[in-house]
Chain A
């Protein structure tokens, strides 16, 4: 597949912007870092060997830009094992009550940064475990267990966030 700068924008801008927006929670900053990401990607397009890996490659550039932006505050992506220790481990893929889905954005915001990131990579960007492992430099088993624990944390947060108010609809 012949990959051009234009096809990079057409094929991946929406997803990369969505990730930046969800992760940074600031529209202006998200736009700026996405713009920087694509400009760098245009310059380095020759380094991308596999067009199918373009999404992961763009996200790795974006994550580098985010890290550069926040290097002073270093508030990103510390996975605190203790925080997840008491959560249920891997379980069946059991759906939540659809009415609770409205609470998802708020619940996601309350998760630790590293848990939010890994969920966004898996369920918003739809990256494979292998791709996530490559991006975060984690072994496959760790990726799997973190995703499961992050999902459990999210479910718990959604249940808290969306706790039905008496007489009110969600």
Chain B
């Protein structure tokens, strides 16, 4: 079985040379570096903590306002999503498949169009979608999918600050008759927008 053997460079070295990793796709690298830029290194957090303490001591509660602002990011993005939803559907992608397959179609499309792979959240798994578009809100890239039942789900290329990495308690807001809820799941922020009078289960 192990014929044709010679004694030049060892098999281990041959394996290493043959399996040596090539370059990852550029758009994946860009997308990750963009995501990395929105986060702080582990050494930056202690520095920020010290700065915050100084601000509390010297600035009389300035930090309190900053923390409040951070915690409200979910509400801000939810509001921005409602605004975007009210402008009407913009179909850059139209689902050709029905049912669960449309979600997979959307995910593949988003990887090309938005530079990141936007999957539906667990609670919407298998939901049929009409189509979607790429949009930028609050300096963050998002993919919007319009669902067949009238709702829209916005998938952001990062998590919401001020909410846990996987948050099971969404931040809910209502604006102009629409309702929206924002949460983090699996490293992404999601905002689900329901139109006025939407009667399904959320």
Residues in A lying within 8 Å of B, measured CB to CB: 2-6, 8-10, 13-19, 22, 28, 31-32, 34-36, 38-40, 42-43, 45-46, 48, 88, 93-101, 104, 119-120, 123-124, 126, 151-152, 154-156, 159-160
Contact present for A124 and B20 (CB under 8 Å):
yes
Task: For the complex, give the distance between the alpha carbons of A2 and B86 in Å.
Answer: 45
Which among A3, A95, A124 is the interface contact of B8 at CB below 8 angstroms?
A95
Chain B residues within 8 Å of chain A by Cβ, number: 49
* Chain A CB within 8 A of B29 CB: yes
Instruction: Given A94-B5, A95-B6, check contact A155 B11 (CB 8 Å).
Output: yes
Q: Is the CB of A42 within 8 A of B25?
A: no
Contact A156 B1 (CB under 8 A): yes
- In contact, B3 and A159 (Cβ under 8 angstroms): yes
Which residues of B23-41 have CB atoms within 8 Å of chain A's CB atoms?
Answer: 23-25, 28-29, 31-33, 35-37, 39, 41
Contact of A95 among B11, B37, B119 (CB under 8 A): B11
Interface SS of chain A: helix, strand, loop or mixed?
Answer: helix
Flag B95-128 by CB within 8 Å of A: 1 or 0 each. 0000000000001100100001101000000000
Residues of B within 8 A of A101 (CB): 14, 18
Can you give 7 contacting A-B residue pairs, CB < 8 Å? A18-B19, A38-B32, A45-B39, A46-B42, A93-B10, A104-B18, A151-B15
